[in-house]
Amino acid sequence: MSDSKKIIVALDKSDAGSALELAARLDPAYCRVKVGKELFTSAGPDVVEQLHKLGFDVFLDLKFHDIPNTVAGAVKSAAALGVWMVNVHASGGERMMAAAREAIDSHAGQAPLLIAVTVLTSMDQVEMQSIGLSAQVSEQVELFATLAAGAGCDGVVCSAHEAKLLGGGNSSLLKVTPGIRLAGDDASDQRRVMTPTRAIESGASYLVIGRSVTGAVDPVKTLKAISADLASL
Protein backbone atom coordinates (compact mmCIF):
# COMPACT_ATOMS: atom_id res chain seq x y z
CA MET A 1 0.00 0.00 0.00
CA SER A 2 1.47 3.35 -1.05
CA ASP A 3 -0.07 5.41 1.77
CA SER A 4 2.41 5.39 4.63
CA LYS A 5 -0.06 6.87 7.18
CA LYS A 6 -2.08 3.82 8.11
CA ILE A 7 -3.22 4.97 11.57
CA ILE A 8 -6.48 6.84 12.18
CA VAL A 9 -6.79 8.02 15.78
CA ALA A 10 -10.36 8.12 17.09
CA LEU A 11 -11.07 11.43 18.83
CA ASP A 12 -13.89 9.98 20.88
CA LYS A 13 -14.53 13.07 22.99
CA SER A 14 -17.76 14.80 23.91
CA ASP A 15 -16.68 18.38 23.21
CA ALA A 16 -14.43 20.33 20.86
CA GLY A 17 -12.10 21.57 23.60
CA SER A 18 -11.18 18.07 24.77
CA ALA A 19 -10.86 16.79 21.20
CA LEU A 20 -8.60 19.63 20.08
CA GLU A 21 -6.49 19.35 23.23
CA LEU A 22 -6.00 15.66 22.45
CA ALA A 23 -5.26 16.37 18.78
CA ALA A 24 -2.60 18.87 19.83
CA ARG A 25 -0.80 16.00 21.59
CA LEU A 26 -0.71 13.99 18.36
CA ASP A 27 1.31 14.47 15.18
CA PRO A 28 -0.31 14.65 11.72
CA ALA A 29 2.91 13.24 10.26
CA TYR A 30 2.03 9.89 11.84
CA CYS A 31 -1.75 9.72 11.78
CA ARG A 32 -5.10 10.96 10.61
CA VAL A 33 -8.02 11.53 12.99
CA LYS A 34 -11.60 10.32 13.20
CA VAL A 35 -14.55 12.49 14.22
CA GLY A 36 -17.53 10.40 15.28
CA LYS A 37 -21.15 10.99 16.19
CA GLU A 38 -20.62 12.15 19.78
CA LEU A 39 -18.05 14.81 18.92
CA PHE A 40 -19.76 15.99 15.72
CA THR A 41 -23.17 16.24 17.43
CA SER A 42 -21.61 18.32 20.19
CA ALA A 43 -19.18 20.48 18.22
CA GLY A 44 -20.51 20.50 14.66
CA PRO A 45 -18.57 21.21 11.46
CA ASP A 46 -16.32 23.77 13.17
CA VAL A 47 -14.31 21.02 14.86
CA VAL A 48 -13.46 19.59 11.44
CA GLU A 49 -12.19 22.99 10.33
CA GLN A 50 -10.08 23.33 13.48
CA LEU A 51 -8.54 19.89 12.95
CA HIS A 52 -7.70 20.82 9.36
CA LYS A 53 -5.92 23.92 10.69
CA LEU A 54 -3.84 21.62 12.90
CA GLY A 55 -2.79 19.74 9.77
CA PHE A 56 -4.93 16.61 10.11
CA ASP A 57 -6.85 14.70 7.47
CA VAL A 58 -10.29 13.92 8.92
CA PHE A 59 -12.34 10.75 8.67
CA LEU A 60 -15.95 11.82 9.30
CA ASP A 61 -17.41 8.71 10.90
CA LEU A 62 -21.17 9.38 10.92
CA LYS A 63 -22.25 6.12 9.27
CA PHE A 64 -25.05 7.63 7.19
CA HIS A 65 -28.01 5.27 6.76
CA ASP A 66 -31.22 6.66 5.29
CA ILE A 67 -33.12 6.91 2.02
CA PRO A 68 -30.82 7.47 -0.99
CA ASN A 69 -31.66 11.15 -1.48
CA THR A 70 -31.03 12.02 2.17
CA VAL A 71 -27.73 10.15 2.28
CA ALA A 72 -26.62 11.77 -0.97
CA GLY A 73 -27.26 15.21 0.51
CA ALA A 74 -25.42 14.35 3.73
CA VAL A 75 -22.40 12.99 1.89
CA LYS A 76 -22.32 16.05 -0.38
CA SER A 77 -22.26 18.28 2.71
CA ALA A 78 -19.43 16.18 4.15
CA ALA A 79 -17.46 16.60 0.92
CA ALA A 80 -17.93 20.36 1.16
CA LEU A 81 -16.25 20.24 4.60
CA GLY A 82 -13.13 18.93 2.92
CA VAL A 83 -12.99 15.67 4.85
CA TRP A 84 -10.60 12.93 3.72
CA MET A 85 -13.01 10.04 4.27
CA VAL A 86 -16.73 9.61 4.94
CA ASN A 87 -18.80 6.49 5.54
CA VAL A 88 -22.27 5.05 5.06
CA HIS A 89 -23.90 1.83 6.25
CA ALA A 90 -23.79 -0.90 3.61
CA SER A 91 -27.05 -2.25 5.05
CA GLY A 92 -28.73 0.77 3.46
CA GLY A 93 -28.41 -1.09 0.17
CA GLU A 94 -26.68 -0.67 -3.16
CA ARG A 95 -29.00 2.09 -4.40
CA MET A 96 -28.28 4.21 -1.32
CA MET A 97 -24.52 3.71 -1.66
CA ALA A 98 -24.65 4.49 -5.38
CA ALA A 99 -26.46 7.75 -4.60
CA ALA A 100 -23.67 8.62 -2.16
CA ARG A 101 -21.08 7.83 -4.84
CA GLU A 102 -22.85 10.06 -7.36
CA ALA A 103 -23.02 12.92 -4.83
CA ILE A 104 -19.30 12.69 -4.13
CA ASP A 105 -18.47 12.53 -7.82
CA SER A 106 -20.43 15.74 -8.38
CA HIS A 107 -18.30 17.60 -5.81
CA ALA A 108 -16.10 20.20 -7.50
CA GLY A 109 -13.16 19.93 -5.08
CA GLN A 110 -11.09 17.06 -3.74
CA ALA A 111 -13.48 14.15 -3.26
CA PRO A 112 -13.37 12.20 0.02
CA LEU A 113 -13.01 8.44 0.07
CA LEU A 114 -16.39 6.73 0.36
CA ILE A 115 -16.37 3.79 2.76
CA ALA A 116 -19.22 1.40 3.60
CA VAL A 117 -19.65 -0.07 7.07
CA THR A 118 -20.24 -3.82 6.93
CA VAL A 119 -20.76 -5.46 10.36
CA LEU A 120 -19.89 -3.42 13.44
CA THR A 121 -16.85 -4.76 15.26
CA SER A 122 -18.82 -4.65 18.52
CA MET A 123 -21.14 -7.39 17.21
CA ASP A 124 -20.67 -11.14 17.43
CA GLN A 125 -22.60 -14.07 15.96
CA VAL A 126 -25.17 -14.16 18.76
CA GLU A 127 -26.03 -10.49 18.29
CA MET A 128 -26.23 -10.97 14.53
CA GLN A 129 -28.82 -13.69 14.99
CA SER A 130 -30.77 -11.57 17.49
CA ILE A 131 -31.51 -9.00 14.77
CA GLY A 132 -32.52 -11.62 12.24
CA LEU A 133 -29.26 -12.07 10.32
CA SER A 134 -28.64 -15.80 10.10
CA ALA A 135 -25.45 -15.69 8.01
CA GLN A 136 -22.06 -16.09 9.59
CA VAL A 137 -20.37 -12.75 10.33
CA SER A 138 -17.77 -13.37 7.63
CA GLU A 139 -20.46 -14.21 5.06
CA GLN A 140 -22.44 -11.07 5.91
CA VAL A 141 -19.31 -8.92 5.61
CA GLU A 142 -18.53 -10.43 2.19
CA LEU A 143 -22.09 -9.77 1.02
CA PHE A 144 -21.98 -6.14 2.11
CA ALA A 145 -18.51 -5.72 0.57
CA THR A 146 -19.78 -7.02 -2.76
CA LEU A 147 -22.68 -4.55 -2.65
CA ALA A 148 -20.29 -1.72 -1.75
CA ALA A 149 -17.99 -2.56 -4.64
CA GLY A 150 -20.93 -2.68 -7.02
CA ALA A 151 -22.05 0.76 -5.87
CA GLY A 152 -18.60 2.24 -6.48
CA CYS A 153 -17.44 2.62 -2.88
CA ASP A 154 -13.71 2.99 -2.32
CA GLY A 155 -13.64 0.58 0.58
CA VAL A 156 -15.34 -0.94 3.58
CA VAL A 157 -15.20 -0.85 7.35
CA CYS A 158 -14.72 -4.35 8.72
CA SER A 159 -12.78 -6.08 11.45
CA ALA A 160 -9.26 -7.22 10.64
CA HIS A 161 -10.53 -10.77 11.02
CA GLU A 162 -12.64 -10.31 7.89
CA ALA A 163 -10.17 -8.13 5.95
CA LYS A 164 -8.15 -11.13 4.82
CA LEU A 165 -11.32 -12.83 3.52
CA LEU A 166 -12.23 -10.03 1.14
CA GLY A 167 -10.38 -11.33 -1.88
CA GLY A 168 -11.54 -11.91 -5.44
CA GLY A 169 -13.76 -9.14 -6.74
CA ASN A 170 -13.45 -7.23 -3.46
CA SER A 171 -9.66 -7.28 -3.26
CA SER A 172 -9.31 -3.71 -4.57
CA LEU A 173 -11.47 -2.28 -1.78
CA LEU A 174 -9.72 -0.41 1.01
CA LYS A 175 -10.22 -2.09 4.37
CA VAL A 176 -10.67 0.26 7.32
CA THR A 177 -10.43 -1.75 10.53
CA PRO A 178 -11.66 -0.62 13.95
CA GLY A 179 -11.19 -2.86 16.97
CA ILE A 180 -7.42 -2.41 17.00
CA ARG A 181 -5.80 -2.97 20.37
CA LEU A 182 -2.18 -3.17 21.48
CA ALA A 183 -1.08 -6.40 23.12
CA GLY A 184 -2.41 -6.52 26.66
CA ASP A 185 -5.02 -3.79 26.17
CA ASP A 186 -8.62 -4.21 27.35
CA ALA A 187 -10.97 -4.99 24.43
CA SER A 188 -13.72 -2.96 26.17
CA ASP A 189 -16.97 -3.09 24.11
CA GLN A 190 -15.28 -4.48 21.02
CA ARG A 191 -15.62 -8.16 20.11
CA ARG A 192 -13.51 -8.82 17.00
CA VAL A 193 -10.17 -7.20 17.88
CA MET A 194 -6.58 -7.53 16.62
CA THR A 195 -3.16 -5.93 17.16
CA PRO A 196 -1.86 -3.36 14.61
CA THR A 197 0.80 -5.53 12.99
CA ARG A 198 -1.46 -8.57 12.73
CA ALA A 199 -4.21 -6.39 11.23
CA ILE A 200 -1.95 -5.06 8.46
CA GLU A 201 -0.65 -8.56 7.81
CA SER A 202 -4.29 -9.67 7.51
CA GLY A 203 -5.01 -7.15 4.77
CA ALA A 204 -6.11 -4.00 6.59
CA SER A 205 -5.45 -0.73 4.74
CA TYR A 206 -6.10 1.67 7.64
CA LEU A 207 -6.27 1.06 11.39
CA VAL A 208 -8.71 2.94 13.60
CA ILE A 209 -7.10 3.15 17.03
CA GLY A 210 -8.67 4.85 20.03
CA ARG A 211 -7.82 4.34 23.66
CA SER A 212 -4.58 2.47 22.97
CA VAL A 213 -3.19 5.78 21.70
CA THR A 214 -5.38 8.45 23.29
CA GLY A 215 -5.06 6.90 26.74
CA ALA A 216 -1.28 6.58 26.55
CA VAL A 217 0.96 8.71 28.75
CA ASP A 218 2.77 9.87 25.60
CA PRO A 219 0.45 9.45 22.57
CA VAL A 220 3.08 10.56 20.02
CA LYS A 221 5.62 8.11 21.39
CA THR A 222 3.00 5.35 21.08
CA LEU A 223 2.15 6.46 17.54
CA LYS A 224 5.80 6.41 16.51
CA ALA A 225 6.28 2.95 18.01
CA ILE A 226 3.26 1.56 16.14
CA SER A 227 4.36 3.24 12.91
CA ALA A 228 7.86 1.78 13.25
CA ASP A 229 6.40 -1.69 13.75
CA LEU A 230 4.21 -1.31 10.66
CA ALA A 231 7.09 0.03 8.55
CA SER A 232 9.08 -3.11 9.33
CA LEU A 233 6.47 -5.40 7.77
**Can you state the angle between helices 68-80 and 94-105, rounded to 10 degrees?**
30
* Active site (annotated) includes residue 63: yes
The 3-state secondary structure of 179-212 reads: CECCCCCCCCCCCCCECHHHHHHCCCCEEEECHH
Cα–Cα dist 55/37, whole Å: 21
Tell me the chain's radius of gyration from C-alpha atoms.
17
What number of other Cβ atoms are within 10 A of residue 44's Cβ?
Answer: 11
**Residue 57's beta-bridge partner residues?**
none
List 6, 13, 34, 63, catalytic entry: 63
Q: Reduced to 3 states, what is the DSSP secondary structure of residue 36? A: strand
Catalytic residues: 63
